[in-house]
Chains A and B, each alone.
Chain A
Amino acid sequence: MSAEEKIVFSYPTGLTTKNTHYCPGCLHGVAHRLVAETIDELGIREKTVGMAPVGCSVLAYEYFGCDMVQASHGRAPAVATGVKRARPDLYVFSYQGDGDLASIGLAEIIHAANRGEKITVIFYNNAIYGMTGGQMAPTTLVGMKTTTTPTGRDPGERGAGNPIRMAELLATLFTPVYITRQSLLTPQDILKAKRAIKRAFQLQNTGFTFVELVGTCPTGWGMTPSESNDWAGEKMVPVFPIGVFRDTEKGI
Chain B
Amino acid sequence: MGNRIEVDMDRCKGCGLCVSACPADIIELGDDINLKGYHFAVLTDAAACKACAFCGVICPDVAITVFRGLKK
Direct A/B contact, Cβ within 8 angstroms? yes
Interface size on B, residues (CB 8 A): 32
- List 5 other contacts, CB 8 Å, given A9-B64, A22-B61, A226-B19: A5-B4, A24-B13, A28-B60, A187-B58, A226-B16
The answer to whether A11 touches B62, judged by C-beta atoms less than 8 angstroms apart, is yes
A: interface residue count bin: 20 to 34
A11 touches B65 (CB 8 A): yes
Residues of A within 8 A of B (CB): 1-12, 15, 19-20, 22-30, 33, 186-187, 190-191, 218, 224-226, 229
**Lowest 5 A-B CB distances belong to which pairs?**
A29-B60, A25-B15, A24-B13, A9-B56, A4-B1
Closest B residue, CB atoms, query A23: B13
CB < 8 Å: which of B53, B56, B58, B67 contacts A5?
B67
The total number of A-B Cβ pairs within 8 Å is 90
Closest chain-A Cβ to B51's Cβ sits at a distance in Å of 5
A132 to chain B, nearest CB (A): 20
Known: A5-B1, A5-B68, A24-B38. A12 touches B62 (CB 8 A): yes
* Cβ A224 vs Cβ B16 within 8 A: yes
A24 pairs with B70, CB closer than 8 A: no
Tell me whether A190 and B61 are in contact (CB under 8 A): no
Complex CA–CA separation, A127 to B3 (angstroms):
38
* A7/B61 in contact, CB under 8 A: no
- Interface: B17 (CB within 8 A): yes
18 pairs, CB–CB < 8 Å, chain A vs chain B: A2-B1, A3-B70, A5-B69, A7-B67, A8-B66, A9-B53, A9-B56, A10-B56, A19-B61, A24-B14, A26-B60, A27-B60, A29-B60, A33-B62, A187-B57, A191-B57, A226-B20, A229-B17
Beta-carbon contact of A225 and B57 below 8 Å: no
State whether A9 touches B70 (Cβ < 8 A). Answer: no
Name the distance in Å between B72's Cβ and chain A's nearest Cβ. 7
A33 to B53, CA, bound (A): 14
Q: CB within 8 A of A7: which of B54, B66, B72?
A: B66
The residue from B20, B21, B53, B68 contacting A6, defined by CB atoms under 8 A apart: B68
Interfacial chain B residues near A9, Cβ < 8 Å? 53, 56-57, 64-66
Residue B10 lies at the interface, judged by CB distance under 8 Å to chain A: yes
In the assembled complex, how far is the CB of residue B54 from the closest CB belonging to chain A, in whole angstroms?
4
Q: Nearest B residue to A224 by beta-carbon distance?
A: B16
Q: Is the CB of B61 within 8 A of A20?
A: yes
Closest chain-A Cβ to B7's Cβ sits at a distance in Å of: 12
